[in-house]
Amino acid sequence: MQFARNEAINANAKSVLVFFLSLTILLASACGPSRVATPVSRPEQPLQEVNPQSVELERDDLSRELLVQAVQNSLLYYERLPEDRLVKFGPEEVPVSRMKRTLETFLELLAESRSWTELADRVREKFIIYRSVGRNVEQEVLFTGYYEPTIQGSLTQDDHYRLPIYGVPDDLLKIDLGLFGKQYKGTRLVGRTEGNRVVPYYSRDDIEFDGKLAGKGYELVWVADPVERFFLRIQGSGRIRLLDGTYIRLGYAAKNGRPWGPIGRLLIEKGLIPKEAMSMQAIRRYLKQHPEEMAEIFSYDPSYVFFSKVEGGPFGNIAVPLTPGRSIATDSSLFPKGALAFIQCEKPIFAKDGVILGWTPFGRYALNQDTGGAIRGPGRVDLFWGSGPFGRIAAGHLKHPGALYFLLIKESSS
At residue 354, the pLDDT reads: 83
Query: Is residue 341 a part of any domain in this protein?
Result: yes
Residue 342 belongs to domain spanning: 47-147+315-409
Query: Is residue 251 a part of any domain in this protein?
Result: no
Query: Is residue 37 a part of any domain in this protein?
Result: no
Q: How far is CA 217 from CA 160, 362, 414, in A?
A: 19, 47, 54
Strand 237-241 and strand 150-154: the pairing is parallel
Write 2-7 long-range contacts (CB < 8 A, 24+).
2/174, 3/174, 3/175, 3/176, 3/188, 4/173, 4/174, 4/175, 5/175, 5/176, 5/179
Query: Is residue 239 a part of any domain in this protein?
Result: no
Query: Is residue 336 a part of any domain in this protein?
Result: yes
| Whether the Cβ atoms of residue 130 and residue 48 lie closer than 8 Å to each other | yes
> Average pLDDT by consecutive 10-residue portion of the chain (414 residues)?
38 44 39 40 84 96 97 98 95 96 98 97 98 95 94 96 98 92 88 95 95 97 96 90 95 92 94 92 94 94 94 91 97 97 97 90 98 90 92 92 98 72
Query: Is residue 41 a part of any domain in this protein?
Result: no
At residue 34, the pLDDT reads: 33
At residue 373, the pLDDT reads: 76
At residue 260, the pLDDT reads: 87
How many domains does one find in the chain? 1
Query: Is residue 64 a part of any domain in this protein?
Result: yes
Query: Is residue 70 a part of any domain in this protein?
Result: yes
Which residues, 6+ apart, have CB-to-CB distance to 367 below 8 Å?
A: 70, 71, 73, 74, 323, 326, 327, 328, 338, 339, 340, 341
Q: Which residues are bridge partners to 407 per DSSP?
A: 129
Instruction: Output the domain CATH number for residue 345.
Output: 2.40.40.10
Cα gap 20→15, rounded to integer Å: 8
pTM: 0.75
| Whether the Cβ atoms of residue 141 and residue 132 lie closer than 8 Å to each other | yes
Q: How far is CA 400 from CA 83, 347, 372, 384, in A?
A: 37, 9, 18, 14
At residue 43, the pLDDT reads: 67
At residue 353, the pLDDT reads: 82
| Whether the Cβ atoms of residue 298 and residue 204 lie closer than 8 Å to each other | yes
